Amino acid sequence: MSGDDLRKRFEAAFMPNYGVPPVALARGEGCRVWDADGREYLDLIAGIAVSSLGHAHPALVEAVAAQAATLAHTSNLFLHEPEVLLAERLLGLLGGDGRVFLANSGTEANEAALKLAIKYGKANGRTYFVAAENGFHGRSMGALSLTGKNAIREPFGPFAIDVRFVPYGDADALEAAVDERCAAVFLEPAQGEAGVVPPPDGYFAAARRICDATGALFVADEIQSAIGRTGAWFAFQHEDARPDVLTLAKGLGGGLPIGACVAFGDHGDIFAKGDHGSTFGGNPVSAAAALAVLDTIDKDGLLANAAEVGETLAAGLEAIDHPLLKGVRGRGLWRAAVLTGPHAPAVEAAARDAGFLINALQPDALRLAPPLTLTAAQARSFTAAFPTILDAAASAVKES
Ligand SMILES: *Cc1c(COP(=O)(O)O)cnc(C)c1O
């Protein structure tokens, strides 16, 4: 079916919450994807920082196919080897001392963290939560209540829990907001959906110290940043500020749906039997995919690749002198190209016409979150083409 046909039928069959995406993708291989009409693109968004190994990676294909052919689902009435290996593997990467809950998505990982924090608060007379303005933690009602982006939060309020929002990156404001009645602080290591906005150096370490001083749980939402995105397994490792609870999802399954909530030390014992659950969470196929992702990142040195190629990408963008381009921010293969005006949709469209998939994340910011397997040559092919893309976007903006 042609892309146009698919778009028409999509529009008729689906709720309008996504609008109609501009491209129907048909297949992928490595960092390249092809649309339904056979056009090829370099994929610099990886399904929103998800396809960490690129597309159709043999290790992922083999793990998923073999597991599906062996046992695809057990529910949590039974346990299975891939989930045990995965939980142990995650704890190993995190220093050992904790426990894991497996979910299917980012928002579900945060729901688990929130329920843990509510239970912790009830046991200790702690009644409120702190999160950041413009933060994003997911679309389900608990995670949404922690989400500081008013446009997506307010239509669905009021919310059942008391969340106080502080300006992101301001350690003094955080300190002033957190006291002995605060159950938990939820923070991203850099704000992904807000435009890949990193905090000042030392912010995560300050959050750790503030939570230690008051007894509030420090919950790090690493759903977008974990599993090599920033060049480290976990972004908190750059500041050595380990949270009490960590949530992750996107890149973990390499495209298969899986999320995880990890609680360290005694916090791993907060849930009692029956407190939480998920029929699909940690299912054998997704767990096998995640194990293949972790193995491949290790074996192929993809943390170092993300750090190095991320620098190549950033340096290439920084070297461009163009009236539409202000600069670049972020770390590893998690970057935003920042524009001088609200032209991100026009630049996204011009990039697509030139064969590059990037994401107009904010009116003035484009997200680059390619597979961790991106090569330096692929990064340079984009930065070499970007001035022409910006020119095309500038003329499109003028004409409209
Ligand atoms: C994507 C994201 C979520 C939500 O994940 P879903 O899998 O879409 O539910 C939560 N927090 C952060 C930081 C994210 O980037």
Q: What residue ranges do the domains of the chain occupy? A: 3-57+301-399, 59-300
Q: Note if 136 is an active site residue.
A: yes
Of 101, 136, 165, 236, catalytic: 136
Position 260 confidence tier, pLDDT thresholds 50, 70, 90: very high
How much is the pLDDT for 382?
98
Contact 97, 265 (CB under 8 A): yes
- The preferred substitution site among 104, 152, 224, 227 for testing ligand 1, maximizing ligand atoms within 8 Å of CB, is 224
Contact 247, 109 (CB under 8 A): yes
96, pLDDT greater than 90: no
Give residue 100 CA to ligand 1 midpoint distance, Å.
18
Residue 390 Cα distances to 324, 349, 393, angstroms = 7, 10, 5
282-293 tens-digit pLDDT: 999 999 999 999
Position 254 confidence tier, pLDDT thresholds 50, 70, 90: very high
Position 267 confidence tier, pLDDT thresholds 50, 70, 90: very high
Q: Note if 250 is an active site residue.
A: yes
Of 221, 236, 244, 356, catalytic: 221
164-219 tens-digit pLDDT: 999 999 999 999 999 999 999 999 999 999 999 999 999 999 999 999 999 999 99
pTM score of the predicted model: 0.98
Domain 59-300 sits in CATH at: 3.40.640.10
Residue 15 Cα distances to 10, 11, 20, 59, 73, angstroms = 9, 8, 10, 35, 29
Nearest C-alpha neighbor of 286 from the set 112, 56, 58, 64 = 64
68, pLDDT greater than 90: yes
Q: Note if 156 is an active site residue.
A: no
Q: 158: cis peptide before it, omega within 30°?
A: yes
Determine the average pLDDT of the residues in 274-278.
97
How much is the pLDDT for 370?
98
Residue 29 Cα distances to 21, 46, 171, 271, 298, angstroms = 21, 12, 43, 41, 21
Going by the annotation, the residues of the binding site for pyridoxal 5'-phosphate are 106-107, 136, 221-224, 279
Determine the average pLDDT of the residues in 55-63.
98
Closest ligand 1 atom number to CA of residue 224: 15
Determine the average pLDDT of the residues in 133-154.
97
How far is 129 from 386, CA to CA, in rounded Å?
42
Q: Around Cβ 377, how many Cβ atoms within 10 Å?
A: 9
Determine the average pLDDT of the residues in 151-167.
96
258, pLDDT greater than 90: yes
Give residue 19 CA to ligand 1 midpoint distance, Å.
19
Closest ligand 1 atom number to CA of residue 110: 10
- The preferred substitution site among 114, 134, 145, 193 for testing ligand 1, maximizing ligand atoms within 8 Å of CB, is 193
* CATH architecture, domain 3-57+301-399: Alpha-Beta Complex (3.90)
How far is 329 from 296, CA to CA, in rounded Å?
27
